[in-house]
């Protein structure tokens, strides 16, 4: 099943988290939760460029070995009739934006994630994972992903 | 960073969802949310054996081509100081339990997931993904995954 583009774009614009899966040259999967914004046809996920134990983040090493990625958007709920997921398949690359794109992406990130204003600083001159994606599939336990995902989006707007 | 075994076992026993990443023979990642239970040294995730468009589920085809899997446990939270994840790396195989193991796994699933009693039936003679795992890494925004994960486990016990 696939979501229509309007619902999918709405979801990507507001859903705060996705799980990114990448694969090493040896065929081993890796997964990590990411934040992201939509700009044009791409998704961008900031990385702060820091080295972990002296080497780049595993997700970066993996996409340099194999650019294929999957992004999973979903929402666990104790009411299983509310369960849904959307999978995006694509390719990722390390992207170092020029100054104007950098300002645009920072603005998009600060708009989507007020947390960036509250002290969790965006790294200056952040690098990004730039993801070229296509919809893989959408699923809902109820059989109606567009309806259930619409409800999940509406709940996002209401502080818990 | 790694979690100590006691916290990790507690998390695995109670955390309802994980995101499972698998890889095809062609090196393409796939991800899906799963439910699971702990039995001995393995994790078991039920699959109902149904065919999707006439073929087995993608996760099954992938592990037959490449048994390497990653499981990501995490919890998105608007308060980023609460963010954490734990990654388990391992191998998965399709497991068809005998009658006594089948009864045990069904009991574990019904205990962890009351939803199975409420109408979302466990398939009779369910097959399982059996996952042999080791801890990959644990992370928390705050720098203290054991503390933050302990809090997340405590919140699980409190209905929203």
Query: What confidence tens digit (pLDDT) does each residue in B15-68 have?
Result: 999 999 999 999 999 999 999 999 999 999 999 755 555 677 899 999 999 999
Return d(Cα B106, Cα B125) in angstroms, integer.
9
Tokens of A67: 């650019």
- CATH value at residue A129: 2.30.110.10
User: What mean pLDDT, rounded, does chain B reach?
Assistant: 92
Average of per-residue pLDDT across B99-115: 94
* pLDDT (0 to 100) of residue B113: 94
**Residue of chain B with shortest Cα separation from A83:** B33
Is the model's pTM score more than 0.90? yes
Cβ neighbours around B71 below 10 Å, total: 24
Q: Among candidates B39, B34, B33, B144, which has minimal Cα distance to B83?
A: B144
Task: Give chain B's domain count.
Answer: 1
Question: Would you say A25 and A65 are in contact if contact means Cβ atoms under 8 Å apart?
Answer: yes
**Residues of chain A found within 8 Å of residue B32, distances taken between Cβ atoms:** 72, 85, 87
Tell me: pLDDT of A52 over 60. no
How far the first Cα of chain B sits from its last, in Å, is: 30
**DSSP letter for each residue of chain B:** ----HHHHHHHHHH---EEEEEE-TTS-EEEEEE--EEETTEEEEEE----BTTB--HHHHHHHH--EEEEEEE---SSGGG-EEEEEEEEEEEE---HHHHHHHHHHHHHH-GGGGTT-PPPTT-EEEEEEEEEEEEEETTS-HHHHHHHHHHHHTS--
pLDDT at B123 over 60: yes
Per-residue confidence at A159, pLDDT binned at 50, 70, 90?
A: low
Residue A16 in this model has a pLDDT that exceeds 90:
yes
**CA–CA separation, B156 and B102 (whole Å):** 27
Boundaries of domain holding B84: 5-157
* Range 76-105 of B in CB contact (< 8 A) with A: 76, 78, 80, 83, 85, 87, 89
CB contact under 8 A, B33 and A74: yes
Q: How confident is the model at residue A43 (pLDDT cuts 50, 70, 90)?
A: very high
Compare CB distances from B33 to A29, A70, A76 and report the shortest one's residue. A76
Whole-number Å distance between alpha carbons of A159 and B83 = 18
Instruction: Give the residue, A124 or A91, on which the prediction is more confident.
Output: A91
């Amino acid at each position: 099943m696939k979501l229509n583009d309007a619902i999918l774009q709405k979801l990507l614009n507001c859903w705060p988290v996705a799980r990114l899966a990448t694969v090493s040259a040896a065929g081993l999967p890796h997964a990590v939760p990411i934040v992201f914004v939509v700009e044009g046809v791409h998704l961008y996920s900031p990385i702060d460029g820091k080295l972990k134990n002296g080497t780049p983040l595993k997700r970066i090493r993996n996409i340099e070995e194999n650019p294929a990625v999957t992004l999973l958007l979903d929402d666990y709920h104790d009411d299983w009739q509310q369960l849904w997921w959307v999978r995006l398949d694509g390719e990722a690359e390390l992207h170092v934006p020029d100054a104007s794109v950098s300002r645009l992406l920072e603005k998009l990130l600060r708009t989507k994630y007020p947390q960036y204003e509250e002290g969790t600083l965006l790294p200056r001159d952040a690098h990004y994972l730039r993801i070229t994606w296509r919809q893989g599939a959408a699923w809902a336990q109820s059989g109606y992903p567009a309806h259930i995902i619409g409800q999940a989006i509406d709940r996002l707007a209401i502080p818990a």
